[in-house]
Each structure stands twice: as structure tokens, then as C-alpha cells.
């Protein structure tokens, strides 16, 4: 059955790049609505933006969506991951600015808010995209791939020169609350040199040591250190789940990212939808429903560190 949230849930924070205050509200939506965003600060023109792969403006730092009227919204990946990981298929997400609030740099605050409100099952079947053919895209040394599989599986490899991150690999099947237990609290990360460069360009003005893991060589600068020894690769997997949910429905297949990011994952979705026979929309069986990321999730699964 499709799922929405039982009651609106509100979040207040700052935009990562602007540093400006932002309010976000997730509202219930009817069956077959899907996930849509609405810019409440836009009074004239079309303020609605679908959470869909073909409206993504590919950028390296975040996932940005833009509608036909030019209304845009940046950094949607963390709330998209939370919706996917909690099994929410229908919602209207209202934001009163051009960026989703960064909160603590992870999806955990969104997950906690969604689960605290509760989920409402709807009298409509869940539909998902089955991956039927392998599709791969590359950009230099980085690549991303979709392959057939019975459930969504995410495999990721990262390799950074900073000893505090280094080489990390992880593979998880997203079934039965894995996202909430293993990934939702993983924070965005960056190198101190990257922060300095972005701020010189007027970016990352809302970034602090409280909403990102900042590293400098072999040092973790953020207070309290890491939530997981492999928090960096976990966050890349979190981002991937949010970006893959931009397909417009859950995916049943294996995603592999090798030094991949937001832009490459969206390029992969575009290639999969362009490849005849690569994806097939199916009505989920009971067995497939049980394999979806949000099946059976509950508050107790959120890590205590978040």
C-alpha cells in the first residue's frame, strides 16, 4: 500500500550555502500524488517542483531541482532520503526559501520527525521500477552502475587523500529499515580546504562544525568526532538513496557508486530511462513490498547518536 505522513511536521534551520533561516514542512498527500516540493516564498508563478530525475540541474555539491518556470530548490537529497527510507510515497514538502535546511547534516532529524508523526497507509498499490538491464555511466575515474536485483542494494567506494577519510567501501541492502538503522545519522563531510575555497566563492555560509564532519588531514575538527568510523561512505550512500528516489518510485536493483556523486547518479538515472528495456514499472507484490526501504520502520531503529 502507498504511504503518506499522518500529520504535517515542521523543521527550522539554515541553508547550507546561504546561511539564511529556512522553514520546511512535510504535509500529507493523497494516493498517487508522489513527492512534490513547493516554494512558499514565491507568490507569483509556478512554485511547485516535482521530485523527479528530469528536473534535476546537475551540480557537484548538492541535488538541485528546477521547474519549467525557473523556480528552483537546492539540497533536496537528505529529505528525499528520509522519505524513501521511511517508505513515504506521497507528500508535499513546503520550503520558504531556495534551499532545504541542512539541520545536522544528516537525514536523522527528518526521519525522527516523520516517524514521530506516524505513517498513514493508503488504499493504493505501491509501484516500483525493476532494473532489467545493466546501465553504467562514467566521468573520469568515477562511475555509477545500475544492475538487476530483487531489492534495492547500494554499494559505494570512496577514496580521499585525507587520512581521516581515506579509502572506504560499504555494501547494504536497503530492505526492512536498514537506512534508518545504518545510514540516516551519517552527516555530510568535507575537507577544511574545500570549506575555505567555497566560502571564498560565497558558498557554505551556513556550514558549521555542528552540521558537517570537517576533516583536515588526519584530524576530525567537528566536536565529538565521528558517529561511525566509516561515516563518510555511509553519507555517500544516504545521498545515493535520496538521489535514486528521484526516479519517481522505489527502485528494485543494485546501485554501485565508485567515487560517484549527485551529478553522476542523476546522469545514471537519465541513461537508465533513455535505455529501452532498462527499467520496468511494476505493481509490487507482498514479497516486493517487504523488501522496500521503509517496510516496518519504527522510532527505535534511529541510532542513539543522532
Residues catalogued as catalytic:
262
Residue 193 to residues 199, 214, 215: CA-CA distances in angstroms? 10, 10, 9
Distances (CA, A) of 257 to 19, 196, 237: 30, 27, 9
Q: How far apart are CA 301 and CA 115, in angstroms?
A: 10
Alpha helix (H) ranges present in 184-230? Answer: 192-200
Find how far residue 210's CA is from the centre of its chain: 20
In sequence order, what are the residues at sequence separation of 6 or more whose Cβ sits closer than 8 angstroms to the Cβ of residue 2? 31, 32, 89, 90, 121, 122, 124, 125, 126
Q: Quote the CA–CA distance of 237 and 72 in Å, as a whole number.
A: 24
* Gap between the Cα atoms of 219 and 210, Å rounded: 16
What are the helix (H) ranges across 120-227? 178, 192-200
Neighbours of 47 (CB within 10 A): 18
Amino acid at each position: 500500500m502507498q504511504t503518506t505522513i499522518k500529520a504535517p511536521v515542521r523543521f527550522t534551520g539554515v541553508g547550507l550555502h546561504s546561511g539564511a533561516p529556512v522553514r520546511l514542512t512535510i504535509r500529507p498527500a493523497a494516493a498517487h500524488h508522489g513527492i512534490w516540493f513547493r516554494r512558499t516564498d514565491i507568490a507569483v508563478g509556478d512554485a511547485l517542483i516535482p521530485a523527479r530525475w528530469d528536473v534535476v540541474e546537475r551540480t557537484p555539491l548538492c541535488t538541485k531541482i528546477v521547474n519549467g518556470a525557473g523556480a528552483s530548490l537546492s539540497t533536496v537529497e537528505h529529505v528525499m532520503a528520509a522519505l524513501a527510507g521511511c517508505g513515504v510515497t506521497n507528500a508535499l514538502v513546503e520550503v520558504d526559501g531556495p534551499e532545504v535546511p541542512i539541520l545536522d547534516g544528516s537525514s536523522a532529524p527528518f526521519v525522527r520527525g516523520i516517524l514521530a508523526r506516524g505513517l498513514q497507509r493508503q488504499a493504493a498499490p505501491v509501484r516500483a521500477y525493476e532494473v532489467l538491464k545493466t546501465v553504467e555511466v562514467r566521468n573520469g575515474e568515477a562511475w555509477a552502475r545500475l544492475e538487476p536485483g530483487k531489492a534495492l542494494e547500494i554499494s559505494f567506494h570512496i577514496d580521499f587523500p585525507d587520512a581521516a577519510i581515506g579509502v572506504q567501501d560499504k555494501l547494504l541492502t536497503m530492505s526492512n529499515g536498514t537506512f534508518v538503522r545504518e545510514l540516516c545519522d551519517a552527516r555530510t563531510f568535507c575537507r577544511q580546504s574545500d570549506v575555505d575555497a567555497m566560502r571564498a566563492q560565497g558558498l557554505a555560509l551556513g556550514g558549521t562544525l555542528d552540521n558537517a564532519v570537517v576533516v583536515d588531514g588526519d584530524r576530525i575538527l567537528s566536536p565529538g568526532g565521528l558517529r561511525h568510523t566509516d561515516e563518510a561512505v555511509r553519507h555517500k550512500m544516504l545521498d545515493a538513496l535520496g538521489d535514486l528516489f528521484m526516479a519517481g518510485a522505489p527502485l528494485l536493483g543494485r546501485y554501485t557508486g565508485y567515487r560517484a556523486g549527485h551529478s553522476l547518479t542523476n546522469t545514471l538515472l537519465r541513461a537508465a530511462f533513455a535505455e529501452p528495456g532498462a527499467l520496468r514499472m511494476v505493481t509490487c507484490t507482498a514479497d516486493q513490498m517487504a523488501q522496500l526501504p521503509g517496510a516496518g520502520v519504527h522510532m527505535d531503529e534511529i541510532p542513539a547518536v543522532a
